[in-house]
Amino acid sequence: MEPAERQGGRLIVVSNRGPFRFKKVTEGFRSDRTIGGLVSALDPLLRQTGGTWVAWDDEFRKGDPLGSRVKVPLSKPEYTFRRLHLTKRDVRLFYQGFSNRTLWPLCHYFMDRCEFKADQFEHYQKVNEIFAEATNAEAREGDTIFVQDYHLALVPAQLKRLGTRANIAFFWHIPFPPWDVFRILPWRERILGGLLDADLIGFHTRGYVRHFATCANKLFGAKWDESTETLHLPGRSIQVRACPLGIEFNEYEKIALQPETQKQAATIRKHLGTPIIILGADRVDYSKGILERMEGIQRFLELYPRYRRKFSFVQIAVPSRTEVPEYKTIMSSIDETVGRINGRFAEEGWTPIHYYSRAFPRQRLVAHYLAADIALLTPLRDGLNLIAKEYAACKPDDNGTLILSEFAGAADEMEEALIVNPYNVDEVAKKLKIAVEMPVKERKRRMHRLREQTAAHDIGWWRDDFLGGLIGSLGGR
């Protein structure tokens, strides 16, 4: 049945990156679904409604045999992937530039790392227009358009100017800063005004909602009603909700229970050869606090020398934005810090820090979660931190301890974690000692509660709770 014949509206997802990658094979092309919570949450709903996913595909070029509108998955087409092409200049100025060298550091409170360049903002506007025009061409009255994240903040307003009559929802996945930080942005009215043309806006925490509402009041005189989660502007009202993203809890737990994963976890423990394993896992970014975490490990060794040779710290750091010079500098600094600490404390047959600068396949990552007695996740600022939730999901025996930065959005909901200030290396060391010496009964009680909360608020809950009534208005097959 073609989409035009369906009853009710469809879902149209708009994001920077798409739900499928395509690979040339002997018989033509194969489609592989990309890994990530967002795709896991929204792909089933798109299949149900026969909707469209609009996104940039960095492999799409003029003359591509698959074309700009591909029915996916190729093996059993159920919805449309509208592929967008961006030039190298677009990518450099929109993505590497304004998105990740202006908005990203600003929203993570790293004002000294911000660039404020007019040509970058001009290309940000241009690319947002490309997304908006493609989305408007796909949409019809009764549809729900769901726009994702800080890369596309102008899309709601641009859609309204194009005459879109669909409902518009927007989710901001990174921190939203307070007024005294956000006001630094020279294009603050444009960014906030772009968002305020959505009908529903979501953030991970109530704190981000309050920051957003304050900024809307300062710039546009909007009035915030927390009891109804409504932002009132002249002539219209907007729902603004806190709804933290969940993970595929059952999938992670299932992988953790597989004999092959458990075998890998046992091999990891045997290879490290210490009774205590501490794990850090992050994408490489200055906001993740990896260097500060290393200093915390060093302080732990200084304050509690009796634990030397009794623990191994494993840091998985997935390279990211490697085309940006400052990220190469961060990776070099991590390498140097690991070398310095290991050089100072390593003894024959024992190295305190094991550092892996690469991405791991999901099963291998789950095996590390399973093997680790303690997860040390200490971002300096993080919109949420899904790694914390993944770690909890991979502890079916409740035997693990989570140490989590107070500046991660997930700290608001994961109350049974040991909460720490990542800037305070003495506190990090002391929380590590508490985790190492925690009685088994308390450790299991805390992890059991964390797992209950994570399971109850999984990726499906996030989708249904945030989109709420909008999902009910969408048509099925």
Q: How far apart are CA 258 and CA 459, in angstroms?
A: 21
Q: Which pLDDT belongs to residue 8? A: 59
Q: Give Cα separations from 259 to 262, 264, 273, 329, 475 (angstroms).
A: 5, 9, 21, 40, 41
- What would the two tokens of residue 58 be? 């960095």
382 included as an active-site residue: yes
Per-residue pLDDT band at 3 (split at 50, 70, 90):
very low
* Band of pLDDT at residue 474, cut at 50, 70 and 90: low
- pLDDT for res 468: 84
Q: Where are the alpha helices (DSSP H) in 32-81?
A: 37-49
Write the pLDDT tens digit of every residue in 222-281. 999 999 999 999 999 999 999 999 999 999 999 999 999 999 999 999 999 999 999 999
Domains 3-245+461-472 and 249-456 fall in the same CATH topology = yes
What pLDDT shows up at residue 320?
84
Amino acid at the residue 245:
L
- In the chain, where the domains are located: 3-245+461-472, 249-456
Q: How many CB atoms lie within 10 A of CB 162?
A: 14
Tens of pLDDT, residues 78-114: 999 999 999 999 999 999 999 999 999 999 999 999 9
Share of the chain above pLDDT 90, in %: 84
CATH classification for the domain delimited by 3-245+461-472, as one of 3.40.50.2000, 3.40.50.300, 3.30.360.10, 3.50.50.60: 3.40.50.2000
Smallest Cα–Cα separation from 129: which of 67, 194, 182, 173?
194
Residues of the chain above pLDDT 70, percent? 97
Using DSSP's 3-state secondary structure scheme, residue 34 falls into: coil
Of the candidates 108, 123, 151, 173, the residue annotated as catalytic is 173
Do the bridges between strand 401-405 and strand 418-420 make them parallel or antiparallel, or are there none, so unpaired?
A: parallel
CATH, domain range 249-456: 3.40.50.2000
Indicate the pLDDT class of residue 64, thresholds 50, 70 and 90: confident
| Mean pLDDT (the chain, rounded) | 94
Q: How far is CA 430 from the centre of its chain?
A: 29
* Global confidence as pTM: 0.94
Q: State the catalytic residue, choosing from 143, 282, 285, 382.
A: 382
pLDDT digits 0-9 by tens, 331-369: 999 999 999 999 999 999 999 999 999 999 999 999 999
Residue 128 reports pLDDT greater than 80: yes
Residue 33 has pLDDT above 90, yes or no: no
Q: Are 388 and 408 in contact (CB under 8 A)?
A: yes
Element (H, E) at 367: helix 362-371
